[in-house]
A and B are shown apart, each in its own frame.
Chain A
Amino acid sequence: QKEVEQDPGPLSVPEGAIVSLNCTYSNSAFQYFMWYRQYSRKGPELLMYTYSSGNKEDGRFTAQVDKSSKYISLFIRDSQPSDSATYLCAMWGNTNAGKSTFGDGTTLTVKP
C-alpha cells in the first residue's frame, strides 16, 4: 500500500464549479503538507503548504489538513479553464532525509 493515496481522476467540471481534490496518507510522522499544480510538459508549481492540521486560504484555493483522519484536501472555488492541470499532493516529516512523498496526481479539466 502506498504511503499517499490520491484519486487519479480524471475529473471534469464546468467553469465556475467548486473542485475538491483529496489525498489520504498512512504515515503519522508527516507534518508538512503541500499541493502542487503541474501543467503538461512543465515542472510542478507549489500552490500551497500547510503545517499540521487546519485550513489555509489563498485566493480561490483552500487547503485543509485533518491529521486525525490522515486526510488532506484542496478546494478550488470558481474554477477556471486555466485551472486545468494535474494536481499533486505532497507531504513530509522531519525524518526520511527531507524527501517529500507525492501522490500520483489528479488530472482536472475545467470546461468553459
Chain B
Amino acid sequence: GAVVSQHPSRVICKSGTSVKIECRSLDFQATTMFWYRQFPKQSLMLMATSNEGSKATYEQGVEKDKFLINHASLTLSTLTVTSAHPEDSSFYICSARDGPDGQYFGPGTRLTVT
C-alpha cells in the first residue's frame, strides 16, 4: 500500500509557541490530504481537507487562523498550530488519498503543550 510519513512523531512545546507538522506522501501524488485530531480513546475528528494549490477547507468549529494548513506540492502538506495552548495537546494524524480506493494515514504526531 501507499506510504504516508509524518514529522515529527512527537513534539513538546511551550504555551504560546507555534509548531509545524509535515505530512508527505512518499510513493504517490496526493491532490487531497486530510488532517485529523484524535483524543485518547476517542474517534478521529476531521479538521480540514487540503487540496494542492488551493486553500484548505476547514470543518465547522475548527479555527483556520489557529490551524494553518499549506498544501504546497502534490506530496507535501503542513499543519501549523499557532500560539499553541495546553488544550491543543492531542494526537494529530494526516491522511492522503491515492485514488478512489485508498486513503492512507501517517503515523501521527503527538503534540504536548506545556
Of the listed stretches B12-20, B69-77, B79-87, B101-109, chain A binds B101-109
A88 to B49, CA, bound (A): 19
B97 within 8 A of A: yes
A-side contacts of B106, CB under 8 Å: 43
> Which secondary structure dominates chain A's binding surface?
mixed
On whether the beta carbons of B49 and A97 are closer than 8 Å, the reply is yes
Q: How many A-B residue pairs have CB under 8 A?
A: 51
Cβ < 8 Å to A, chain B residues 1-20: 1, 4, 6
Interface string of A24-48 (1 = CB under 8 A from B): 0000000110101000011111100
Of the listed stretches A14-22, A76-84, A98-106, chain B binds A98-106
A-side contacts of B110, CB under 8 Å: 41
B-side contacts of A44, CB under 8 Å: 44, 93, 105
